[in-house]
Structure 1
Amino acid sequence: MQSWQNIIQRRFHSRLVLIVCGVVCATSSYAAAQGPGGGGGGGGAAAPAFNDPKFRDRVWEAGGPRLSGLHTGKLVKAVVIKGNETVSQHKILSHMQTRVDRNYDERQLQSDIHALYGTELFRTITPKFIDYKDGVVVELLVVENPTVTEVVFHGNTRLDESMLSKHCGIKVGDPANPFSVDMARQRLVDLYLEKGLNQVAIEVREGNRKDDRRVFFDIYEGPVERVWDIKLIGNSVFSTSLLKTKIRSKDARGGATPYMGNVANWEKFDNDKTILVAYYRSLGYFQAKVDYFYDYYDDGNFLDLTFVISEGQQYKVRNVTIVGNHYEPFTTEVLMAALETKAGDAFNLGRMSRDQRKLRNDYYGREGFVFVDIVPEPRFLDEPGMLDLVFKINEGDRYRAGEINVHIEGDSSHTAHNVVLNMMGIREGQFIDLKELEDSERRLKASQIFESNPAMGEPPRIEVRPPDAQDLEEF
């Protein structure tokens, strides 16, 4: 007779809960029939009150009294701010939840003061209390940190001030912080480099000293540099024309497009180098190396970009093996016959990935192995240019579909839930088919019932979860 533990374990591993989530698309005809879409999803849980004991010490060291629960529960008659010169009382109170006609709470005031320190606008904040018969007045004596009074950009002609201000990240009223100014200068340099102004030089004339209130950037922009020609040397296996289609940098196409999409961007050059290396290695050239250099024309506005390639030897697959398959119908012979990769083939990352997906979706995924883990592992050998390819399979448990829950953010109805269920190719009690799950999710996204634009709301998705632990307790 099987033990109750075995029965419970088998029940837990045989059923999964399918959660279908989506946001109603306000522009679809279906949503129009249902009424205006609701706002999806509430905010996260509120942060816990700040009650670190060190905070009390900070208030004490700043010259204020230690906070205690002496006034807790009394009505707040007024919140008075003293000592502020450049920061308005309204701005200070906007960071506080301790307010008039609310009961005073010590932990809430601690949290408020912590939030005010977090703005970096204040050097010290000292609380004080005045007791009355009908309540308490809370006073905060603040000592401000210096703030920025003006941000000046000098010498810019190619990029306008609004763009520089946006990327700078410093505005009037912000804390005057030399470190923040230096970071702002670097953001401006990055912006100019992105625009092909690689000779840019930006100097901080004011704002990098402790007592500075004005931030002054002196900018030498230089010319916009563009790529005239892209060359590749050292490539013999793949043509230059093919490799140029893989990279993002563009040239002037022999003068046909001298000012179209060919801005010289160093970050893009580095990414192109990485792309070329990845392309070679995906096809078995694991020793491939790529670097680049550039030559300026006399006017300094154009340059030739040259990628230097060392291809190395292409690796071939000596043996293909599969390990970890225990499910009786999926013998090694059956799975091996399904693979594209064969012994003696040149290594091909795309082919290996297709084999991995085929084993997952067309075999294990069709039989309820929802969490099967299949890892292809190239193993390099002492023999030059040869490797063994091993597909390591961790089958996991086999699952049937349990309860199918539909969760719709925004306006929904019983009809909407039925529409979702009709698009699902899986029913309760069936073994879960991974390919059918993907097809069902694709149908939901293409239905125009739900929002599929990530900027407008979370696209429809299907989640597979184990049953709640509470189900086992009830069982």
Structure 2
Amino acid sequence: MIRGVSSDTRCGNALRLALSLILVQIIIFGNCINGIIPLIDSVSAQEPQKRSIDLNQSIFDVRVEGNESIPALAILQKTKIQRGRPATRDMVLEDVRLLFATRWFASVVPVYRQTEQGLVLVYKVKERPIVEKVEFRGYKKIKIKRLQATTGLKVGSPFDIAANQESVNRIKQLYVERGYRFAEVKLLKGGDPNDREVIFEIKEGPKVVVSGIKFRGNKFVSDGVLKTKLQTKKAPLGMSFFGGKYDPATIQDDLISLKQYYNGLGFFDVKIDEKVGYNKDKSRVQVEYTINEGKRYKIRDIMIEGNRIFSEEEIREDIKLAAGEYFNSRTLATDVEKLSERYGELGHLFAKVTPQPRFLEAPGEVDLVYSINEDKPYRIRKITAHISGDNPRTKSSVLLNPMMVAPGDLANQRLIAKSKRRIEGNQVFQKGPQDGPRINVTRVNPEREMLASRENDILRGQNADEQQVQKLRYPNLKYRSQTYKQPAPQQNQDLFEGIKTEPVSYQSPQRTGQIFRGQNYDNGIPEPLNPLFGESPLGDPMGTEFPQQQPGWVDLDVYASESRTGRLMFGVGVNSNAGVVGSIVLQEENFDILRPPRSMEDILDGTAWRGGGQRFRAEAVPGDQVSRYLVNWTDPYFLDTNFSLGVSGFYFTRYYTDWDEQRVGGRFSLGRQLTQEWSINTQYRLEDVKLYNPRTPTPAIVQASVGDNLLNTFRISLNHDTRDAAFLPAEGHLLEWAAEQAVGDYTYSRLEANGSQYFTLYKRPDGGGRHILSLSAQLGWTDTDTPVFERYYAGGFQTFRGFEFRGVTPRENGIAIGGRWSFLGSAQYMMPITADEMIQMVFFSDFGTVEEDVSLDQFRVSVGAGLRLTVPAMGPVPVALDFSVPLAKESFDQTQVFSFYVGFTR
């Protein structure tokens, strides 16, 4: 220590010195690198900087100095300044930045040099050290190409100690992601400035997989159900190839998920602990969850607050969670949704129903309070469509057509939600919580906007003569069928970003100067001006029970993102009805028949034939027993209306037991969605049916159809669909009534009625594990002139299990000739075997008959059981395996104990 100088003084001097050095470096870097003025070099050492240089003259040459291993040509290829052109300071600066971006150089200094030939720009560089060798030692489980790609290091790349050390972390993270949680990575060489080799030493260690998951203490919920709530999964057969990677982070997520699940069932005091145990070599993990379920809470009482529009009795009709029952968050959510829909149907879009549990001193009891803020009704002012995507091509009408509300309508929450579901069902747009369709509902004040815009008291898009204001009547609301309609609110959230198309707006035809003043919501009669009785149910008979608020206005912004609508699919299937079939399908869900290619660019960028929301499908399905080739085009909103139009052409061959059949033809269909549940469809069918190779002795009815037959039919059908899902429904029904008339070579009438009803007989408290009973019936009658290839047949896994395909039918000389009357029914009970419902068992009974006349004399019955196996890799349709035994049959019937369906689509 130097005497007489304090340590504080020395520290201050050192700090000032350091700051001075930093300042000098900044000045040098700013002058030389940031291109303020590049250094000026003279022709010779005798003339340091005496000659004046005109920096505006053209550059005679661009050179590189100081490079040792990197060729000058390779360096100059990274620059932009060219010979024969002037070089501004910004251009020089850009070149310097480009050279630094290569990471080849530790420094780059631009220098002007005046020569006899002209002005020369010189880049004086100092190269970084070059990596001479990259080596990975000890790796076995991961290929060297993957390691090289992870680090980005290769021979000839700049030597960078920081990059080498970062590569250690990247390699370790790669191993952890692959399940090698105990992997160690060391940098043997490459951490010293004098190194030119980079060598990594890897100790991979074991791959850690979950070999078992156990639960202790759980009584109310089975192990299988709890496992479905976990992100952590067991490795099948202990083999890491099939998954089961261990990740400690998911254990904590699993604890939260399990607690939330128990809380939702009323176990508010549940406690869950986890324990993780390794085997000796730490390659296997046993995860154990210890659960103290605690007491399950019951609801002591239910109270309702804030309701004025609906009585307490009306509200309680929608509440299924009753006093004395166990708390269940799923049932509670359903009740809240129903109450919100009740208010939403009256336009009270922002009504809030808040369930508030009140815990009591008595253990295991809770009061439930429904706090209701009714708000006021709203009408829709305008609807705006926003379609995003990498290169959006879809017309706005494709997004707006499924809407069931329109500008000027009451903001019916149920119809808005239904509209959203209809958009979600459109394959044109992406699905899911992140990218799926969204609707942003925003409260607006048209009068304030009107005053601000000063557009003569007329909203944009309105006509001055549109002065009629539709009276607001509720609760007697009716379904409105509109051309442009829209989906469901999300409480003023910004639900979608990255919009690239211009919004298209549809304005309300109503004027803000006439906003429902003095109307009563019940009947549209003006409210009396009696201040004494206006709020009393007594006295003035015209009075209201509570003061009514004037309706507000909302704007709907509908957001959707285009999905990949074009698909080329390959598949193979085998079933007991049709044998083995393959399939090649070209499908486009966003087809536009009016957008042909106008240039090669339209074809390359995918603009041609796309954007109209129409559906196009071309398929080839060759098989050993049946083959089909089909082209189909459908517009679900023809001319932007609720009418659907479809046109198809097909070629079909089938090798039956008793004859071979070939069909060539087309169909034209026109339909309309009448309401949410009712629809009507008409169809014209034109086919050439060729029947050949009949078995002998050939019945007369078969012989009459041998050869070519022209078939012309007109069909009309009416449908009523209340199913909760079109695929594997659990509730609701589907009914169809149809009539068909044939003309031409054959003249006959046909009447049909089909129906299916679905019941959920049991489900777990969480709503899963449903046991579903399905009942179905089919009735059909056709006239005497019906050809043999259009008569009724039954049998096989689709119509009558326990009998062969077409095994139930009248016969002549042992040959199936079909019937004019058909009645088929089925009762099936389906229940899951596994908690994840991937394996389900079915018990069923099929019954009915096919006869020449209306009769039940030859009634058949079969009973059986089967399995439904869902294999995600094979597609959404489950594998069906059914065993069935006929209990009642005819001597000439053809039976079949086992029927099946297996399909695979990619």
- Aligned pair partner of 1:339 in 293, 314, 319: 319
The question of whether the paired residues in 1 share the 8 Å contact of 2:33 and 2:108 is answered with no
How far is the alpha carbon of 1:153 from its aligned partner? 2.2
Deviations 1:316-370 (A, max 9, x none): 44555566x57x525666445423444454333333333343344x134334444
- Distance in 1 (alpha carbons) for counterparts of 2:66 and 2:375: 65
Deviations 1:7-35 (A, max 9, x none): xxxxxxxxxxxxxxxxxxxxxxxxxxxxx
- Distance in 2 (alpha carbons) for counterparts of 1:350 and 1:149: 64
The question of whether the paired residues in 1 share the 8 Å contact of 2:130 and 2:159 is answered with yes
Deviations 1:367-417 (A, max 9, x none): 44445565555555666545555556666664322233445565758xx44
Query: 2:380: which partner in 1?
Result: 401
How far is the alpha carbon of 1:158 from its aligned partner? 1.4
Indicate how the Cα distance of structure 1 residues 65 and 335 shifts in structure 2: closer, same or farther if over 3 A, else same: same
- Distance in 2 (alpha carbons) for counterparts of 1:294 and 1:166: 35
SS at match of 2:423: helix
SS at match of 1:304: strand
Indicate how the Cα distance of structure 1 residues 411 and 181 shifts in structure 2: closer, same or farther if over 3 A, else same: closer
SS at match of 2:180: coil
Deviations 1:430-450 (A, max 9, x none): 1223443343343334344x3
Indicate how the Cα distance of structure 1 residues 167 and 320 shifts in structure 2: closer, same or farther if over 3 A, else same: farther
In the TM superposition, what are the counterparts of 1:376-455 in structure 2 within 5 Å?
376-378=355-357, 384-387=363-366, 389=368, 398-407=377-386, 416-448=395-427, 450-452=428-430
Indicate how the Cα distance of structure 1 residues 338 and 92 shifts in structure 2: closer, same or farther if over 3 A, else same: farther
Query: 1:240: which partner in 2?
Result: 223
The question of whether the paired residues in 2 share the 8 Å contact of 1:379 and 1:387 is answered with yes
Query: 1:279: which partner in 2?
Result: 261
Query: 1:154: which partner in 2?
Result: 137
The question of whether the paired residues in 1 share the 8 Å contact of 2:139 and 2:202 is answered with yes
Share of identical aligned residues, percent? 28
In the TM superposition, what are the counterparts of 1:38-437 in structure 2 within 5 Å?
58=26, 60-61=28-29, 64=32, 151-168=134-151, 178=161, 180-209=163-192, 212-251=195-234, 260-287=242-269, 288-296=271-279, 301-318=283-300, 320=302, 325=306, 328-330=308-310, 334-360=314-340, 362-370=341-349, 376-378=355-357, 384-387=363-366, 389=368, 398-407=377-386, 416-437=395-416
- Distance in 2 (alpha carbons) for counterparts of 1:317 and 1:81: 84
- Distance in 2 (alpha carbons) for counterparts of 1:345 and 1:75: 92
Larger helix fraction of residues: 1
The question of whether the paired residues in 1 share the 8 Å contact of 2:235 and 2:245 is answered with no
Indicate how the Cα distance of structure 1 residues 320 and 103 shifts in structure 2: closer, same or farther if over 3 A, else same: farther
The question of whether the paired residues in 1 share the 8 Å contact of 2:298 and 2:324 is answered with yes
Larger strand fraction of residues: 2
Indicate how the Cα distance of structure 1 residues 466 and 252 shifts in structure 2: closer, same or farther if over 3 A, else same: closer
The question of whether the paired residues in 2 share the 8 Å contact of 1:62 and 1:124 is answered with no
Indicate how the Cα distance of structure 1 residues 61 and 232 shifts in structure 2: closer, same or farther if over 3 A, else same: same
Indicate how the Cα distance of structure 1 residues 122 and 363 shifts in structure 2: closer, same or farther if over 3 A, else same: farther
The question of whether the paired residues in 2 share the 8 Å contact of 1:317 and 1:346 is answered with yes
The question of whether the paired residues in 1 share the 8 Å contact of 2:105 and 2:128 is answered with yes
How far is the alpha carbon of 1:105 from its aligned partner? 8.1
The question of whether the paired residues in 2 share the 8 Å contact of 1:195 and 1:265 is answered with no
How far is the alpha carbon of 1:196 from its aligned partner? 3.3
Deviations 1:419-473 (A, max 9, x none): 544322111101223443343343334344x35379xx96655444567997642
How far is the alpha carbon of 1:277 from its aligned partner? 3.0
Of stretches 89-98 and 232-241 in structure 1, the one that deviates more from structure 2 is: 89-98
Which sections of structure 2, spanning at least 5 residues, go unmatched?
1-22, 39-55, 456-906
**1:198 partner letter:** R
- Distance in 2 (alpha carbons) for counterparts of 1:139 and 1:380: 81
Indicate how the Cα distance of structure 1 residues 149 and 230 shifts in structure 2: closer, same or farther if over 3 A, else same: same
**1:229 partner letter:** G
- Distance in 2 (alpha carbons) for counterparts of 1:354 and 1:113: 65
Indicate how the Cα distance of structure 1 residues 188 and 68 shifts in structure 2: closer, same or farther if over 3 A, else same: closer
The question of whether the paired residues in 2 share the 8 Å contact of 1:59 and 1:66 is answered with no
**2:430 partner letter:** S
Indicate how the Cα distance of structure 1 residues 378 and 108 shifts in structure 2: closer, same or farther if over 3 A, else same: farther
Indicate how the Cα distance of structure 1 residues 64 and 191 shifts in structure 2: closer, same or farther if over 3 A, else same: closer
- Distance in 1 (alpha carbons) for counterparts of 2:377 and 2:239: 58
**1:64 partner letter:** C
Scaled by the length of structure 2, the TM-score of the pair is 0.37
Q: Pairwise CA RMSD of aligned residues?
A: 5.2
Deviations 1:283-324 (A, max 9, x none): 23344222122141x56544433222333343444555566x
How far is the alpha carbon of 1:221 from its aligned partner? 1.6
- Distance in 2 (alpha carbons) for counterparts of 1:332 and 1:464: 29
Deviations 1:145-176 (A, max 9, x none): 66766543221111112233344466667775
- Distance in 1 (alpha carbons) for counterparts of 2:78 and 2:376: 51
SS at match of 1:423: coil
- Distance in 1 (alpha carbons) for counterparts of 2:77 and 2:360: 66
Pairs aligned (count): 408
Of stretches 460-469 and 419-428 in structure 1, the one that deviates more from structure 2 is: 460-469
Indicate how the Cα distance of structure 1 residues 80 and 289 shifts in structure 2: closer, same or farther if over 3 A, else same: farther
- Distance in 2 (alpha carbons) for counterparts of 1:105 and 1:402: 57
Max Rg structure: 2
The question of whether the paired residues in 2 share the 8 Å contact of 1:318 and 1:388 is answered with yes
Indicate how the Cα distance of structure 1 residues 153 and 370 shifts in structure 2: closer, same or farther if over 3 A, else same: farther
**1:365 partner letter:** G
Query: 2:544: which partner in 1?
Result: none
- Distance in 2 (alpha carbons) for counterparts of 1:185 and 1:126: 33
How far is the alpha carbon of 1:203 from its aligned partner? 1.9
**1:222 partner letter:** G
- Distance in 2 (alpha carbons) for counterparts of 1:206 and 1:216: 5
Indicate how the Cα distance of structure 1 residues 337 and 222 shifts in structure 2: closer, same or farther if over 3 A, else same: same
How far is the alpha carbon of 1:227 from its aligned partner? 3.6
Deviations 1:254-288 (A, max 9, x none): x5978643444444444434432332233233442
Indicate how the Cα distance of structure 1 residues 152 and 367 shifts in structure 2: closer, same or farther if over 3 A, else same: farther
